[in-house]
Amino acid sequence: MIIEIKVPSPGESITEVEIGSWLVQDGAVVAKDQEIAEVESDKATLTIVASEGGKIAIKAEEGEAVEVGAVVCTIDTSVEAPAAESGQSQSQSTDKEPASNMKDQGSSNENQESRIKDAESSTEHDKVKVTSVAKEMMKEHGLSVDDVINGLKRLGKKEVEAVVNAPQTAAAAIPQKEATRDEERERMSSLRRKLSARLVSVKNETAMLTTFNEIDMSYVMDMRKKYQQKFVDTHGFKVGFMSFFTKAVATAMDFHPMVNAQIDGEEIVMPKFVDVGIAVSTPKGLMVPIVRNAESKTIPAIELEIKELAEKARNKKITVEELTGGTFTITNGGVFGSLLSTPIINPPQSGILGMHNIVERPVAINGQVVIRPMMYVALSYDHRIIDGKDSVGFLVKLKELLENPERLLTGGKDAGELMLGI
């Protein structure tokens, strides 16, 4: 029986995809539910699986654009996969060997190799005298007779010191790369082309500005260090910085809602929810899965969702729905060592937060210079809708929340003020 494998719909707005790569060769015999191809849309890379096992016949080439629902290959289910050759008898007999025999055999082999090395060494250097001082120096610096000898008949302290203190030649210290004029070319993926077009349009169609601040991360770092093991015991995974930032961003939106707003024609749309996009670097390019309703979720729930979405994005299992929407984005260049950057807005959103590397720097606190782990943060925003007051105030509130993490439990307000009702 011949069955047709068609391109599934990645999402409602997508009508065409591109064959990214075939994971099997034409004419190969595949198993049921085996991944056979990767297809790329302008939002994500998805996989096609074989609905039945059999011999595959490919109908679309890599790089070819095909419509959703089009037939990309057929599978002849009358062809079955050949049985794998078995070496059970040999493996079983090997497995049944007593452990003591294997241990004795390994010990015998090691002893034999040692005897061979000793014989070779004695043959080559049986006429070379090595003083006791030289032996100790060679042992200390991990040298052998071969490393030191150079036509000598006697090795002493001076000879070993000469080798130990001799500077390495440039050729030995620095590996030389062979000169070449070759170059490689590869076709940009559909996702990469769409991303390129969006980034250019942002620069041309928005009034983008960036404002900066710095955050003392010692409070969050101390909290993670103090409670990390209990957190792992309770939830089964570690807590990172991104969940703190996501929760803090969602809380800060209560004080500066325009940072969460968007322009729709001649109207300003101000969502009552905060859907935070988390930028994830994947082999196929940048993806931004969405943590929805971050304002109503706890830090453990946010951490788990970020972990699951990132894994799905990197393993090409994420859906278009999980990448669609979002009212604000966070990108963390600090994981790659970035000290400072100006992130680009992800339209139609109006703001994006850039996290950066944590570096110990001297700061003045209460008239004293102390060393603290500091992080620069950057907010890029669309000045058409977000004023300077809101952009700067948003980062100040974010700083307050992360330098006083307990305020994430009180809606961003000081606990003392809540207690006194002021």
* Catalytic status, residue 383: yes
Least Cα distance to 43 among 203, 193, 262 occurs for 193
Q: How far apart are the first and last CA of the chain?
A: 76
Q: Distance between CA 182 and CA 354 in Å, rounded?
A: 37
Q: Distance between CA 57 and CA 27 in Å, rounded?
A: 6
The region, left, alpha or beta by phi > 0 then psi within -120 to 50, assigned to residue 248 is alpha
Alpha helices (runs of H) in 273-345, residue ranges in sequence order: 299-314
User: Would you state the structure tokens that stand for residue 185, as one six-digit string?
Assistant: 């070319």
Hey, which residues does 76 pair with through a beta bridge?
A: 2, 55
Half-sphere exposure of 36 (CA within 13 A, CB side): 30
Question: Per the residue annotation, which of 95, 387, 390, 414 is the catalytic one?
Answer: 387
Alpha helices (runs of H) in 59-189, residue ranges in sequence order: 88-95, 99-125, 132-141, 145-148, 157-165, 170-173
Alpha helices (runs of H) in 215-361, residue ranges in sequence order: 218-235, 241-252, 299-314
Least Cα distance to 54 among 32, 70, 77 occurs for 77
Hey, which residues does 290 pair with through a beta bridge?
A: 277
* Catalytic status, residue 356: no
Estimate the share of the chain in helix, then strand, then coil, as percent rounded to the nearest 5: 40, 25, 35
Question: Per the residue annotation, which of 146, 147, 222, 383 is the catalytic one?
Answer: 383
Positions marked active-site = 383, 387
